[in-house]
Homo-oligomer: A and B are copies of this chain.
């Protein structure tokens, strides 16, 4: 059976850590992008946040419907739904001792799909580009999860 350890001594875990790190940084950067645009456009969710806009001599309009901010937030929520489940499943998957070649392929496809998903979402690239990237990532996560369940059935 392949190496199952959740540590950097296991080359597959190290690879998983790399790709997980990349998609998590991408997800966290949505937080920063939301904050940046809220301040830039002075559109805040809470009344007390207007102080941040007023400090820049901007009119404050508390709103939950700014198209730019809401688009970033939808992209962020989609990351939470997909990236977080990928990393959770991936930890269990690496611990199940999968075939390293298949695993590496899954990690790369997922990471590629999610990076391109963000480009398609924020760049408003015509569909079905975003739908395909979303689907690709979801299928990879599902395949990993099914493999975990199959190997863990007792």
Which residues of A are in contact with B by a Cβ distance under 8 Å? 4-9, 11, 13-15, 17-18, 20-22, 24-25, 27-28, 30-32, 35, 45-49, 51-52, 71, 74, 76, 80-82, 84-85, 87-89, 91-92, 95-97, 121, 124-128, 130-131, 134-135, 138, 141-142, 145-146, 148-149, 151-154
Contacts and interface: CB of A to CB of B under 8 A. Distances in A.
Nearest to A38: B131
Given A48-B127, A51-B127, A51-B128, A152 B18 contact: yes
Contact of A28 (B14, B28, B35, B141): B141
A47 B44 CA distance: 23
Given A8-B4, A85-B28, A17 B92 contact: yes
A128 B51 CA distance: 8
Interface of chain A, helix or strand or loop or mixed?
A: helix
Q: How many copies does the complex hold?
A: 3
A46 B50 CA distance: 27
Nearest to A82: B31
